Amino acid sequence: MEVELTDKKQDSVLDKKIVQRVAKLSSLAVKEDELATYAADIGGIINWMEQLNEVDITNVQPMVGTEIAQLRLREDVVTDGECKEDVLSNAPERIADFYAVPKVVE
Amino acid sequence: MSYVIEGSTGPWEVVIGLEVHAQVISQAKLFSGASAHFGADPNMHVSLVDAAFPGMLPVLNRECVDQAIRTGLGLNAKINLMSRFDRKNYFYADLPQGYQISQFEFPIVGEGTIEIELDDGSVKNIGITRLHLEQDAGKSIHDLAPKETCVDLNRSGVALMEIVSEPDMRSPEEAGAYLRKIRAIVRYLGTCDGNMEEGSMRADVNVSVRKAGEDYRTRCELKNINSIRYVMQAIEIEAKRHVEIYENGGEVDQETRLFDVARGETRTMRSKENAHDYRYFPDPDLLPLIVEQSHVDHLKSTLAELPDDKRNRFQSEYGLPRYDANVLVAEQDIANFFEKVAKGRDGRMASNWVTGELFAVLNKKGLTIHESPVSAEALGGLLDLIADNTINGKIAKEVLEDMVETGDMPADIVERKGLKQVTDTGAIEKVIAEILVANPDKVEQYKSGKDKLFGFFVGQVMKVMQGKANPAIVNELLKKQLS
Amino acid sequence: MLTGMKITEAADGLRQKKFSAEELTKAHLNAIDKLNARLNAYITVTADAAINQAKEADKKLASGDAPALTGIPLAIKDLFCTKGVKTTAASRILENFVPPYESTVTSNLLRDGAVFLGKVNLDEFAMGSGNLNSAFGAVENPWKRKGEDTFLVPGGSSGGSAAAVAAQMAMGATGTDTGGSIRQPAAYCGITGIKPTYGRCSRWGIIAYASSLDQAGPMGKSVEDCAIMLQSMAGFDPKDSTSVDKEVPDYRAACNRSLKGMKIGIPMEYRAPGLSPEIEAVWQQGINWLKDAGCEIVDVSLPHTKYGLATYYIIAPAEASSNLARYDGVRYGRRIAGDSLDELYANTRGAGFGDEVKRRILMGTYVLSAGYYDAYYLRAQKVRKLIYQDFMNVFDKVDVLLTPTAPTAAFAKGENQEDPVQMYLNDIFTVPASMAGVPGLAVPAGLSSQGLPLGLQLLGRPFGEETLFAVGSAMEKAANFTHKPTLLAGGSL
């Protein structure tokens, strides 16, 4: 299989600002000095993905699921829950039977 | 007169669209087997799926799908036989998965329309854009600990229907009428209990203003308002805010705002400050939802009677005026109560007693029709006593008061208090004769043309007879004796 | 050596009372003791629980009511949630996570009597092709290049599973395969592994990487061992909406089926110019073996298969960016404090995830973000459909496809690492079947000139696992791959 590798240094589609925005959307703390590396890495991958633009996708339906099965439904019966201790068993911080997080201001 | 806000630059029209979040009535949650019921201890009605533990997967609840279809049918909307679940990605304390499973591109219900009726009797159609199924979030409690927010996931994953309207409403009154109509429809269908105070129905309100003939201007979304009254207040306040901004030369920012009831103002929601990029994509844990037309037909054939249909039937079956019929069907329980009273009786009389005397009693005592101290059977019995001339209307009101206090049946009260109507003409004639003898001057005045005194004589007779005389017979005999 | 046996042999030995399940388990625990410090295949060893399970197995064997896997010691990829046993996904963010539940696949294995030795290493959240992305350190491939002691990677992401089986620290292991994570490490470590049809094994309780691709499967010392394990692991699960309600056939019986008249497709697109002559030679060898076994060889074309990798690296990170959003330090796992909730999230996730995971989350978030969805994700799902259709078209003509499993033999730590795309190329032969959801079986076929195992891959129709086992068994017999790695239980260190 021929897979072309493009030179990512040439024209990275990503700059640090985009990485910063994406990091915020992903709730990931990324250090200033890592931004450029991520921009170059991801930019390179994105460039490489541009090869998909040469595929003719006219009238092609996107793949959904596996094309094999149909969605199954469950009956409306209570079969679960009532397992507070399991639910809270791994909580890093709890107050009484609640999970606790730093105060959120609406 | 249409609703406008008078600004210094002239009148402004208000444009309103509503997104109603209605909690689906079901036993279990939308994608898990945990109970969907209210009122459990914190984190009791939570499965590991709802708490988004690693490797947990959603499985769709059949009844929630059916409830959405029923509601769609009630909104006269198109049911989409292929719909799909998408992930709406964002981080929030009470959103354990880091995404909400919702329907973005292909909702289960498409366009529809409902009719609202305003106080002046006018009727307006409001377009429904879509209805989709989605998961509710958990609950953040901010006032339990000084520095922490406490998270309870009991509601996490409960099924919601989001009903989106077209921006077709032009006044707070229309928005209120729309919400009442939606509430009536879901209650009739048994798909949502419609209790806004408990949060099982909430509204997001999109408000903008414009000058007549203009395109839409920037709208603001007021989030999570939980009463019809507040929705109406919030619209007025927000619309005035927009007018003020425009008239001071400013621009309205498109944003999500919070309605502060206590302060009577709206303000920017801090948690929604950053414009979100929800990165919707089809949930790969679920496959497209395919519904058979035959199944939709089956649900349609077993659908409960809708408010509009019931109103039409009340008009034709009981001869009620449209207005009265609308009052009765506004709430299903009232409509049912009325029908029990009206069955085999005079429909208009039943309607008058329910919406008149009974509502007065309930209002005074602050009770709902459910809690009515007078049952439909008892009220029907009272109407029977009027119909067969056992008592007259005035006495009936007295009997009703007694029924409210004692809970006794009307016939027993009439018996106990000796309120049976006097129809014995001899007895009535005797009293009339006494009254006329005692008031010769009034008789003289009447005969010389002062017709209004007739009422005085009726009153005197009734007084002597403690109201129990049959009014028709009294009138007839009085006329004869005075002529 | 008890650890040198296959599952089929051990099962017979246990029933013939040649040794007890306890002895068998202890032999493997000893091997772990001896080798794990160097190979780092296991993250958690559950020795006490394993011995207890083995004792239970002995009772069952004595009673005569013993299912197929009774007393067979297995390694479990640390991506399967195991009740009461720490499950980390090889990530700092889950370093202390103890699930109060057992995944469906591991429940099935326990039901059938298996003994769990512990949880084995992997690339963090199954993202990688070299098992270099583990928060608990890289896994070393027990195989060595001739005359060298260079640290070679075992492949990934199921690198711990592959190394444990190859070094005889377990009789078999569970793996998961999203783009080749069972087949490629099986090839690198000279063992057998199958990625079943998507929907064949339940995903319930397996920590998700890319939901539309993830599939569990067995890794073992022989095709028949894999058949026995898959028999237990597979099956319909109402808790997984993508699990397919289809009877599990007798896979072990399928291993002995005749291949007479079977048509084997050779996809021309896999003959890339850069393919190493050694791999090419092994492939040709495989073709000859199957010809000898009575198969007809047919040249076929999968025109869109070359887009598989780029498609994969859009779809998998996109799904991962969403699947990994739940690791936020609120309900479980590691939490790094912050002054606000947003800070807590960013700190927890920033410190809790490793570089490759962060890179894929950022990439996935980017391709799904406003304005890019159509250009990347939607386009990729359409190309994926074309790849799927390619497979369905050729399966009208042939029963099975034969390809190499990986473009090279195991590489050394440090090689291939300067560029992520270069690293991604390891999955080039395995990814297309993942995109199409079809099953793939990797079988060791020979050694490179440097003495490293090379594998061949068989791809089948959806739910065509029986055919794969039949063809795989024939190929295994012909290859007679009896070579053993340098680092081995009982071997020299």
Band of pLDDT at residue B2, cut at 50, 70 and 90: confident
- Facing residues of B289 across strands? B83
pTM (2 d.p.): 0.92
Smallest Cα–Cα separation from C202: which of C192, C193, C214? C214
Q: How many CB pairs under 8 A join A and C?
A: 186
Tell me, yes or no, whether A40 lies in a domain: yes
Domain with C51 in it: 2-260
Closest-CA distance, A60 to chain B, in angstroms, reads: 17
Across the interface, of B59, B150, B289, the residue whose CB is closest to A95 is B150
Q: Return the H-helix or E-strand segment holding A27.
A: none
Q: Please judge whether B55 and C205 are an interchain contact, meaning their C-beta atoms are less than 8 angstroms apart.
A: yes
Closest-CA distance, C240 to chain B, in angstroms, reads: 6
Domain with B99 in it: 5-298
CA–CA separation, C432 and C405 (whole Å): 11
Give B-chain residues touching A98 at CB under 8 angstroms: 42-43, 141, 144, 150-152
Asked whether residue B349 carries a pLDDT value surpassing 90, the answer given is yes
Q: Please judge whether B270 and A106 are an interchain contact, meaning their C-beta atoms are less than 8 angstroms apart.
A: yes
Give residue C424's pLDDT. Answer: 82
pLDDT tens digits along B274-321: 557 999 999 999 999 999 999 999 999 999 999 999 999 999 999 999
- What's the Cα-to-Cα distance from B77 to each of B73, B165, B166, C272, C392, rounded to whole Å? 6, 12, 13, 55, 39
Report the C-alpha dihedral over residues B436, B440, B441, B444, rounded to 10 degrees. 80
More confident residue, C140 or B453: C140
Across the interface, of B32, B91, B148, the residue whose CB is closest to A95 is B148
CA–CA separation, C439 and A6 (whole Å): 31
Q: Which of residues 10-69 of A touch C (CB under 8 A)?
A: 14, 18-19, 22-23, 25-30, 38, 41-42, 44-46, 48-49, 51-53, 55, 57, 60-69
CA–CA separation, C312 and C428 (whole Å): 10
Strands B148-152 and B139-141, sheet pairing: antiparallel
Across the interface, of A73, A98, A102, the residue whose CB is closest to B42 is A98
Give residue C370's pLDDT. Answer: 84
Q: Which of residues 7-46 of A touch B (CB under 8 A)?
A: 24-25, 27
Q: Please judge whether C307 and A51 are an interchain contact, meaning their C-beta atoms are less than 8 angstroms apart.
A: yes
**Range with the poorest average pLDDT among A2-11, B51-60, B288-297:** A2-11
Give C-chain residues touching A93 at CB under 8 angstroms: 335
Q: Please judge whether B44 and A103 are an interchain contact, meaning their C-beta atoms are less than 8 angstroms apart.
A: no
Report ipTM for this prediction. 0.97
Domain with A17 in it: 12-54
- Facing residues of B207 across strands? B16, B220
Interacting residues of B60 by C-beta distance below 8 A, sequence separation 6+: A71, A72, A73, A74, B30, B31, B85, B286, B289, C241
> Is residue B409 located within the same domain as residue B309?
yes
- What's the Cα-to-Cα distance from C376 to each of A47, C317, C369, C384, rounded to whole Å? 11, 11, 10, 12
Angle at B455 between CA B450 and CA B456, to 5 degrees: 85
pLDDT tens digits along B405-442: 999 999 999 989 888 888 788 888 889 989 889 998 98
Band of pLDDT at residue B248, cut at 50, 70 and 90: very high
Instruction: Provide the number of structural domains found in chain A.
Output: 1
> Is residue B58 located within the same domain as residue B176?
yes
Give A-chain residues touching C344 at CB under 8 angstroms: 101-102
> Is residue B27 located within the same domain as residue B120?
yes
Assess A102–C contact: CB distance below 8 Å, yes or no.
yes
Contacting partners of chain C (3+ CB pairs under 8 A): A, B
Domain boundary among B240, B264, B298: B298
Across the interface, of B57, B151, B279, the residue whose CB is closest to C241 is B57
State yes or no: is C212 an active-site residue.
no
CA–CA separation, C175 and C77 (whole Å): 6
Across the interface, of C87, C94, C325, the residue whose CB is closest to B89 is C325
Q: Return the H-helix or E-strand segment holding C482.
A: none
Smallest Cα–Cα separation from C86: which of C119, C60, C127, C63? C119
Q: Please judge whether C366 and A102 are an interchain contact, meaning their C-beta atoms are less than 8 angstroms apart.
A: no
Q: Which of residues 252-271 of B touch A (CB under 8 A)?
A: 258, 269-271
Domain boundary among B298, B325, B353: B298
Neighbouring CB atoms inside 10 A of A60's CB total 16
Let me know: does C454 contact C448? Beta carbons within 8 Å. Answer: yes
Smallest Cα–Cα separation from C69: which of C132, C18, C24, C128? C24
Q: Please judge whether A76 and B44 are an interchain contact, meaning their C-beta atoms are less than 8 angstroms apart.
A: no
Return the CATH number at C156. 3.90.1300.10
Domain boundary among B392, B417, B442: B417
**One-letter amino acid for residue C428 of the chain:** I
Give residue B275's pLDDT. Answer: 56
Assess A92–C contact: CB distance below 8 Å, yes or no.
yes
Closest-CA distance, B252 to chain A, in angstroms, reads: 21
Give residue C188's pLDDT. Answer: 98
Catalytic residue from among C91, C157, C202, C222: C157
Q: How many CB pairs under 8 A join B and C?
A: 98
Give A-chain residues touching C369 at CB under 8 angstroms: 22, 25
Instruction: Provide the number of structural domains found in chain B.
Output: 3
Q: What is the mean pLDDT of residues B131-135?
A: 98
Give residue A8's pLDDT. Answer: 42
Tell me, yes or no, whether C75 lies in a domain: yes
Give residue A6's pLDDT. Answer: 46
Catalytic residue from among C26, C34, C77, C119: C77
Long-range pairs, B427-433, Cβ under 8 A, ≥24: B428/B461, B428/B465, B428/B469, B428/B470, B428/B473, B428/B474, B428/B477, B429/B477, B429/B481, B431/B461, B431/B464, B431/B465, B431/B469, B432/B457, B432/B461, B432/B474, B432/B477, B432/B478, B432/B481, B433/B481
Both tokens assigned to B397: 């009101």
Tell me, yes or no, whether A17 lies in a domain: yes
- Considering chain B, what percentage of its residues have pLDDT values greater than 70? 99
More confident residue, B449 or B108: B108
Q: Please judge whether B63 and A76 are an interchain contact, meaning their C-beta atoms are less than 8 angstroms apart.
A: yes
Q: Return the H-helix or E-strand segment holding B8.
A: none
State yes or no: is C157 an active-site residue.
yes
Q: Please judge whether A101 and C425 are an interchain contact, meaning their C-beta atoms are less than 8 angstroms apart.
A: no
Band of pLDDT at residue A7, cut at 50, 70 and 90: very low
Angle at C215 between CA C212 and CA C221, to 5 degrees: 160
Q: Please judge whether A65 and C212 are an interchain contact, meaning their C-beta atoms are less than 8 angstroms apart.
A: yes
Alpha carbon distance, N-terminus to C-terminus of chain B: 53
> Is residue B34 located within the same domain as residue B120?
yes
Give A-chain residues touching C358 at CB under 8 angstroms: 28, 30, 38
Tell me, yes or no, whether C129 lies in a domain: yes
Neighbouring CB atoms inside 10 A of C95's CB total 16
Q: Please judge whether B55 and C81 are an interchain contact, meaning their C-beta atoms are less than 8 angstroms apart.
A: yes
Return the residue matching tokens 């703390």. A29
Smallest Cα–Cα separation from B242: which of B252, B256, B255? B252
CA–CA separation, C425 and A7 (whole Å): 15
Q: Please judge whether A78 and B145 are an interchain contact, meaning their C-beta atoms are less than 8 angstroms apart.
A: no
Return the CATH number at B448. 1.10.10.410
**Range with the poorest average pLDDT among A43-52, B17-26, C7-16, C47-56:** A43-52
- What's the Cα-to-Cα distance from C60 to each of C67, C105, C152, rounded to whole Å? 9, 21, 41
Alpha carbon distance, N-terminus to C-terminus of chain A: 54
Both tokens assigned to C158: 């199921």
pLDDT tens digits along B367-412: 999 999 999 999 999 999 999 888 988 889 999 999 999 999 999 9
> Is residue B85 located within the same domain as residue B123?
yes
Give B-chain residues touching C319 at CB under 8 angstroms: 281, 284
Neighbouring CB atoms inside 10 A of B194's CB total 23
Contacting partners of chain B (3+ CB pairs under 8 A): A, C
Closest-CA distance, A99 to chain C, in angstroms, reads: 7
Q: Please judge whether B282 and A96 are an interchain contact, meaning their C-beta atoms are less than 8 angstroms apart.
A: no
Let me know: does B31 contact B59? Beta carbons within 8 Å. Answer: yes
Backbone φ and ψ for B274, nearest 5 degrees, come out as -80, 125
Q: What is the pLDDT along chain C (493 residues), one digit of tens a residue?
A: 899 999 999 999 999 999 999 999 999 999 999 999 999 999 999 999 999 999 999 999 999 989 999 999 999 999 999 999 999 999 999 999 999 999 999 999 999 999 999 999 999 999 999 999 999 999 999 999 999 999 999 999 999 999 999 999 999 999 999 999 999 999 999 999 999 999 999 999 999 999 999 999 999 999 999 999 999 999 999 999 999 999 999 999 999 999 999 999 999 999 876 788 999 999 999 999 999 999 999 999 999 999 999 999 999 999 999 999 999 999 999 999 999 999 999 999 999 999 999 999 999 999 999 889 999 999 999 999 999 999 999 999 999 999 999 999 999 998 877 777 777 888 999 999 999 999 999 999 999 999 999 999 999 999 999 999 999 999 999 999 999 999 997 654 4
Give residue C492's pLDDT. Answer: 45
CA–CA separation, B140 and B67 (whole Å): 27
Bond into C157 cis (ω within 30): yes
Q: Please judge whether A49 and C314 are an interchain contact, meaning their C-beta atoms are less than 8 angstroms apart.
A: yes
Tell me, yes or no, whether A90 lies in a domain: no
> Is residue B139 located within the same domain as residue B160?
yes
Tell me, yes or no, whether C440 lies in a domain: no
Mean pLDDT of chain B: 94
Q: Please judge whether A26 and C349 are an interchain contact, meaning their C-beta atoms are less than 8 angstroms apart.
A: yes
> Is residue B287 located within the same domain as residue B412?
no
Tell me, yes or no, whether C300 lies in a domain: no
Let me know: does C245 contact C230? Beta carbons within 8 Å. Answer: no
Q: Please judge whether A82 and B289 are an interchain contact, meaning their C-beta atoms are less than 8 angstroms apart.
A: no
State yes or no: is C473 an active-site residue.
no
**One-letter amino acid for residue B139 of the chain:** K
Closest-CA distance, B279 to chain A, in angstroms, reads: 9
Smallest Cα–Cα separation from B165: which of B114, B129, B118? B129
Let me know: does C341 contact B93? Beta carbons within 8 Å. Answer: yes
Give A-chain residues touching B270 at CB under 8 angstroms: 105-106
Instruction: Provide the number of structural domains found in chain C.
Output: 1
> Is residue B79 located within the same domain as residue B63?
yes
Tell me, yes or no, whether A29 lies in a domain: yes
Closest-CA distance, B64 to chain C, in angstroms, reads: 16
Tell me, yes or no, whether C269 lies in a domain: no
